[in-house]
Structure 1
């Protein structure tokens, strides 16, 4: 099958620093290329050539700027070409125009969150048009699938759930670590209000009061809002929390950061469709403490491979979970083993691609 994947216009593929959508696109394309001819169209970037081949995947890069300008360049690229299936990631507005140009292709809309089916990125009617025109809609969790079905009932019958994955050969447990030293609590992600960094810092402060060893927080992630990042540093200083702010860590190196952590904390304050960082931590043999919301609870199994926090707006709830794992090494090791096993069986890119192959194989002809 000839597959075209149309990436969003914001970040190139591969992403120079990070971007969960672009990470997913390339990882899945590599897997799909084992059975199919796969082409990615992405935005141009000065550090990449206009055309490259990575593990059998052809990547063509076109000028970007605004979504409209990027779409016009994508349409110019595909004219005269033939594909059996087109996967469009996170851009409902691209579905109609691409479907009109590539009349022989089935079109899949792969949604990674609710962001681009809601204002300010899309009106409800524009998003509904994209979902209606698509032959298949992929949601990366059951939670996102339910949300989409509730908002767009006319498209509910074509929505399929496909969990994301992780490179289990790169994200893997570290060798035997030396005991002693500070207990390391890791956060990785964008430092923006919805991710809950203030809750984490306050929780570390509270957990430190009862812990038998020092606790330090490591924050790996940048922010599009420099003032907010500065306020998080100030909060850590005010709380007298031992916190290291690493800034943006390129994804090609982030696995090394996971291996140095004792636990990973994901204190998201709003709906998370999936939460790729959680499976990256789990594959690294790092127990996860996470907010009990959205697709996170499909990944983290409470008291088995991690801990889910129901009252996730309260620092005390996270503090209790942090203190529990800090004080019980055998529990941490048991959860770490189970987390790794779950990633190998349920959250590898091979498993994700196998699910997509089944869906695309069954629905690869246009309606």
Structure 2
């Protein structure tokens, strides 16, 4: 098959500046391209040429302000069997106009079918125009079918994944070696490390972890709360909220470390420094990919009961779900409990790695997508 993947206009592919959708496309195209002709459309970036072929994948990039017109030109010039459009349901009609005989699959990674984002008419046209809608969680699928019941028969959940070859469990020799090296580099040898990875945004809830810190320090004075992330992908600009986080962190300078934006290739190594991973999202998270990364790194997970996050957590087996997700003391309670029980951390962390290996590798994601393409 000749397959095209269309990324959003926000970030380039490959994911040199991060981004869940960009990482998703990276992961599956490397596998699908082994047996199929794959082209990826994304925006231009100073680190990347406008056109290239790498690992059997053809990349075509257009400037952001010319992106939609560029894609239309590319679809006209090439006869694709399947076009996989990511997260832009409003674009379907314009894509179909230039490629009327092509089959379209829409993947939905966020709540893109709400009244605020798409009209009744636009949503209906999109659903009629696509063969399938694949969503990153059951939660996202439900947000579509509740408003547009006719979409239900076209929706399939395809959970995202992680590159198992780049992520090592902290319980493996390679993961443990990385762990010692990173801890030495950051000056946190001998500390109990609690890790947050993600945008420093109020909806992600990092302030709650800082508010929970006094209760954690009281029982575990050697704790180190590490934040990896910035206001936005690839940027280290500081807004009022980030300033607020830095102010809270300054109250406990010996127990808080902020690591700003880092190259995506370094993220797997940094996970290995941690003992516990926490996702404190306050919004209806589609299903944060950090869960897959933490599992692959052999870390016990504490996550909020928001959106699709709970769908990949088996309570007490690979992590814990916090129902009272706005309460800092709930995070403190679960973190303290895990820090007090190293055997439990090991059991849950090892289970998480097994979950990742069985269910959340890119090979499974690519296989699921190919099954969708081949049945339309």
TM-score normalised to the size of structure 2?
A: 0.91
Q: Does 1:163 align with 2:159?
A: yes
- Shift of the alpha carbon at 1:119? 6.1
Which digits, 9 at most, give the CA deviation of each residue in 1:211-268, with x for residues without a partner? 3x51111110010462211110101223667211111122111111101111110000
1:9 is matched with 9
Q: Does 1:93 align with 2:90?
A: yes
Which one of the candidate residues 80, 83, 105 is aligned to 1:83?
A: 80
The 2-side partners of 1:121 and 1:266 are apart by 26
Which one of the candidate residues 208, 213, 221 is aligned to 1:199?
A: 208
Alignment gaps of 5+ in structure 2: 170-174, 184-188, 233-237
* More moved, 38-47 vs 172-181: 172-181
Q: How many residues align?
A: 358
- Shift of the alpha carbon at 1:186? 0.5
The 2-side partners of 1:322 and 1:207 are apart by 7
- Write the mapping of 1:1-367 to structure 2, written as runs, cut at 5 A: 1-65=1-65, 69-114=66-111, 116-118=112-114, 121-173=117-169, 174-175=175-176, 181-211=190-220, 213-224=221-232, 226-238=239-251, 242-363=255-376
Contact 1:204 1:216 in 2 (8 A): no
Contact 2:138 2:308 in 1 (8 A): yes
SS at match of 1:252: helix
- Shift of the alpha carbon at 1:124? 4.4
SS at match of 1:273: coil
The 1-side partners of 2:295 and 2:120 are apart by 36
The 2-side partners of 1:233 and 1:122 are apart by 37
The 2-side partners of 1:171 and 1:124 are apart by 42
* More moved, 234-243 vs 189-198: 234-243
Contact 2:114 2:143 in 1 (8 A): no
The 1-side partners of 2:142 and 2:113 are apart by 14
Contact 1:90 1:109 in 2 (8 A): yes
CA 1:128–1:196: 2 relative to 1, 3 Å = farther
Contact 2:300 2:349 in 1 (8 A): yes
Which digits, 9 at most, give the CA deviation of each residue in 1:175-200, with x for residues without a partner? 26669722111100011110001111
2:172 is matched with none
Contact 1:205 1:241 in 2 (8 A): no
Which digits, 9 at most, give the CA deviation of each residue in 1:39-79, with x for residues without a partner? 011111222111112221111111222xxx42111111221
- Shift of the alpha carbon at 1:155? 1.3
* More moved, 268-277 vs 240-249: 240-249
The 2-side partners of 1:246 and 1:17 are apart by 16
The 1-side partners of 2:148 and 2:253 are apart by 47
- Shift of the alpha carbon at 1:275? 1.1
Contact 1:165 1:279 in 2 (8 A): yes
The 2-side partners of 1:245 and 1:182 are apart by 15
Contact 1:182 1:216 in 2 (8 A): yes
Contact 2:226 2:256 in 1 (8 A): yes
The 1-side partners of 2:157 and 2:208 are apart by 31
Alignment gaps of 5+ in structure 1: none
For the aligned residue pairs, the C-alpha RMSD in angstroms reads: 1.7
The 1-side partners of 2:202 and 2:124 are apart by 28
